[in-house]
Amino acid sequence: MSHASRFRRALVTGGGGFLGSYVCEQLLSCGVEVVSVDNFSTGHRSYLEHLMGRPGFTLLEADVIQDFETPGPVDLVMHLASPASIPEFYRLPIETLLVGSHGTHNALRIAHRYGARFVLASTSEIYGDPLKHPQDEEYWGNVNPIGARSVYDEAKRYAEALTTAYGKQHGLSVGIARIFNSYGPRMRPDGRVISGFIAQALDGVPLLIHGDGNQTRSPCYVEDTARGLLAIAESDYQRPINIGNTQEITIHDLAQMVLDVTGSRSPLKFIEPDADDPRQRCPDISRAERELGWRPQVALEEGLRRTVAAARRPSADWN
């Protein structure tokens, strides 16, 4: 996405995260000034190194759970701050819930103060272990509110409710993106499946498959995901929109594809399943196609090749 944007200055919470760094990058490419806010509890400064010193980019180190101030007005707020992997949920359970509640409220208040468009990065996890397949935005989900993943699931469900209520009460223009399994260069092996498989394959160690491997996911290349988020921002559409790839694949076949792309001889090793692990995950993206004119452009195998190539570069930092 490189066309000129109607926005002049954007606040991106969680801009130091994996997806957040791509959102910052694409906004800058559209001529939008960016204020990136992150406390780096799960994000990484290295994600933003290529943007440091670039005209129009400002890094503000702050915790969105606490009150914080932007250095001047903004006309777009992209709220992406949140832990985003199972190990991070376990390490930061209360923080995960608070960033979805207090953090969302703080970001909404900034948007209201300046009359800015607000976009929430929600998740396909709000559908839980779905009883409907593929999942469209009218499906209410099947979620365990006190399970192993609940701090993330409920934080995002609450954030959606708060965003919707705030928009109605204050007349604020709000959008909600339900994101399905982003992956791509710069993603560390932090517990998410594709980065984990790639790191294991390149290290020549077994690829760890939780459960029987028949559960499905629909990975979406990160540049496509970021482009979808910006399309929501530009659209003024007020209801949730799925942003994901409809190319569904089992975890077993995904592991095999990683082996094929890397040329690795690593074996597959089956271990205990993750608690409350969804059996199927695939988006219905007809709303995104109709309302935004958006659909993913990068097929899974091509995206994996780009991600593996980046991971093999001497400059790649997996720590």
Domain boundaries, the chain: 9-182+221-245+277-297
Phi, psi of 318 (to 5 degrees): -100, 5
**Residue 315: per-residue pLDDT:** 63
Distance between CA 64 and CA 284 in Å, rounded?
Answer: 31
Residue 90: Cβ-neighbour burial (10 angstroms; 0-12, 13-18, 19+): middle
Output the six-digit token pair for 38. Answer: 């992150």
Model confidence at 132: pLDDT above 80: yes
pLDDT tens digits, one per residue of 165-200: 999 999 999 999 999 999 999 998 888 899 999 999
What token pair was written down for 90?
A: 């376990």
User: Is residue 19 a contact partner of residue 121, using CB atoms and an 8 Å limit?
Assistant: yes
197: left (phi over 0), alpha (psi -120 to 50) or beta: alpha
Look at residue 319 and tell me whether its pLDDT is greater than 60: no
pLDDT of residue 4: 82
The chain-wide mean pLDDT, for the chain, equals 95
CATH of the domain spanning 9-182+221-245+277-297, picked from 3.40.50.2000, 3.20.20.70, 3.40.50.720, 3.40.50.2300: 3.40.50.720
How sure is the predictor about 316, in pLDDT bands with cuts at 50, 70 and 90?
Answer: low
The catalytic position among 47, 127, 152, 221 is 152
> Per residue in 235-266, pLDDT tens?
999 999 999 999 999 999 999 999 999 999 99
pLDDT average, residue stretch 36-45: 95
Query: Does the annotation count 22 as an active-site position?
Result: no
**Residue 313 pLDDT grade (very low, low, confident, very high; cuts 50, 70, 90):** confident
Contacts of 208 (CB under 8 A, 6+ apart): 196, 200, 269, 271
Please give the Cα distance from 109 to 119 (Å, whole number): 13
With H, G, I as helix, E, B as strand and everything else as coil, classify residue 141.
coil
Distance CA 243, CA 278 (A): 18
For residue 2, give both structure tokens. Answer: 């490189």
Residue 86, pLDDT above cutoff 50? yes
Quick one: CA dihedral 168, 169, 175, 181, positive or negative? negative
Instruction: Write phi, then psi, for 264 (nearest 5 degrees).
Output: -75, 150
pTM of the model: 0.95
- Backbone phi, then psi, for 120, in 5-degree steps? -95, 130
Residue 318 pLDDT > 50: no
Give the chain's end-to-end CA distance (angstroms, integer): 30
**Structure-token pair, residue 167:** 């928009």
